[in-house]
Chain A
Amino acid sequence: MQTEILCRPAASVARIQMQEGESITCEVGAMIAMSTAINVETAARKRGSSGGGVLKGIKRMFAGESFFLNHFTATADQQSLIIGPSLLGDIVSHPLTGGSLIVQGSSWLASGADIEIDATWQGLGNALFSGEAMFWIKCTGTGDVLLSSFGAIYEVVVDGTYTVDTGHIVAFEDTLGFTVGKSAGTWLNSFLGGEGLVCKFEGHGKLYCQSHNPPNFGKLLGPMLKAR
């Protein structure tokens, strides 16, 4: 299976070439275009469900939400699949070699079929964004994880400590420790409201950040739209 990232850096898509029998798991809605000899199965998991169905290693869901996945399998050689995320931004591929990567829920685009996906990880607590709970996915195993971002993706190799506004976290290796708190902590910041939650990472590991913050964009555009 070969993966190529096209249309970088702001409207990136991943083109995956598969031979017969190869497969990949993707977030639902990610499929843009594909060859004709590809089988698609959609699975949904709800909290408390014991599974069954075609996908290996999907653990329970988070907070009663359903997490939809598409599993694409090539039924002939030389089949191509193009996938992309919801927002403008970039895609990077992170190779997992047995360890774990914690991925912000909306930044998880796809992963190899042998990677275990656990959507119940709650290490960052119930961080809220405009009343919506963020969710995190723990990916473990061997293979590639495709990460998407709102904005440009920049990597920080943490060796000591580093602080990130939580809306800018894409993914991080689980070798890193972290604490969540308010940003500057002055009375002015509390007065202004807004989340202003930051995450201070420490230890050694890789951290992927995005240059832009989806809730800040949503809060700007949302009020200009029709009511729901």
Chain B
Amino acid sequence: MQTEIRNRPAFANIRVLLESGDSLIAESDAMASMSSTVAMKAQLAGGFFNAVIRRLFGQESMFVNEFSTYGTGEVVLTQPFPGDMECIELNGNTILLQPGAFVACESGVKLSAGWAGFASFFGKEGLFRLKASGTGKLWFGAYGGIFTRDVSEELTIDTGHLVAYEPTLKLKMGMAGGFFSFIFGGEGFVSKVRGQGRVYLQSRSMDGLAAWTNSHLY
């Protein structure tokens, strides 16, 4: 199986060349186009999910599609928003993803719902993170460009800008400034990330886009 992330960072999409025996799992709406020799089959992700958890994700249904072929074939996978994608290789380690960031993975990667704690509920993100572990490649994406910061102590992040993070980091909700700026400063609750580890961040947020759009609507 050959894969290539094209058109980074503005409209990243994955072009996959499949051969007989290959298998790729992708988020349910990710297929843009494909050769007629490729088969697409819907399935529940991870076996951990029931309808309640699926609804909690809001943006992302945890049904996924599995792509395979008997000969050779091409699939183009995309995401709903403009933005970047990253591919990381898991080797027994785990990464935590924001809902909506998952694009695709190889069949050795296991997906489950990670408990993100009550704190994240106030950030409107829901109670769950997507936990990816196992072995193989994982593709995730975001609205905006994706950049990283290696946290050594603490980093305050406007919640809509957090894409993924290593489980060595702990997430807490907080306010960016004092109470007055909480009401008027436009930031609301922010995520404070503590510990040592890498965070993947996005340079735009859907909340920011919605706020900008709403400011023009009457």
Contact = CB atoms under 8 A, between A and B. Distances in A.
A204 B61 CA distance: 37
How many B residues are at the interface, by size bracket? 35 or more
Interface stretch (A23-31, A40-48, A156-164): A156-164
A168 B32 contact: yes
B156 to A, nearest CB: 23
Contacts of A82: none
Contact of B82 (A10, A194, A224): A10
A213 to B, nearest CB: 7
B50 interface: no
A163 B33 CA distance: 6
B78 interface: yes
B135 to A, nearest CB: 27
B217 A225 contact: yes
A15 interface: no
B42 A184 contact: yes
Contacts of A152: 6-7, 10-11, 13
Given A184-B40, A225-B217, A192 B28 contact: yes
Contacts of A210: 32
Given A163-B36, A220-B206, A225-B214, A184 B7 contact: no
B78 A211 contact: yes
Contacts of B10: 9-10, 88, 152
Contacts, number: 108
B213 A225 contact: yes
Nearest to A195: B29
B61 A192 contact: yes
A35 interface: no
B35 A163 contact: yes
A75 B33 CA distance: 45
Contacts of A160: 36
Interface residues of A, number: 36
B209 A221 contact: yes
Interface in A1-24: 9-10
Given A151-B82, A211-B7, A213-B78, A165 B206 contact: no
Contacts of B116: none
A214 to B, nearest CB: 10
B207 A212 contact: no
B31 interface: yes
Given A154-B76, A162-B33, A184-B65, A226 B217 contact: yes
Interface in A191-219: 192, 194, 200, 209-213, 216-217, 219
B210 interface: yes
A20 to B, nearest CB: 37
B80 A209 contact: no
Contacts of B31: 165, 183
A39 to B, nearest CB: 31
Contacts of A192: 28, 42, 61, 63
A226 B7 contact: no
A212 B33 CA distance: 10
11 contacts: A10-B11, A88-B11, A151-B13, A151-B82, A152-B7, A152-B10, A165-B33, A212-B11, A217-B80, A217-B82, A225-B214
Given A10-B10, A217-B81, 9 more contacts: A152-B7, A163-B33, A165-B32, A165-B33, A183-B40, A212-B81, A213-B29, A216-B80, A220-B206
Interface of A: 9-10, 88-89, 151-152, 154, 156, 160-165, 168, 183-184, 186, 188-189, 192, 194, 200, 209-213, 216-217, 219-221, 224-226
Interface of B: 6-7, 10-11, 13, 28-29, 31-36, 40-43, 59, 61, 63, 65, 76, 78-82, 100, 206-207, 209-210, 213-214, 217
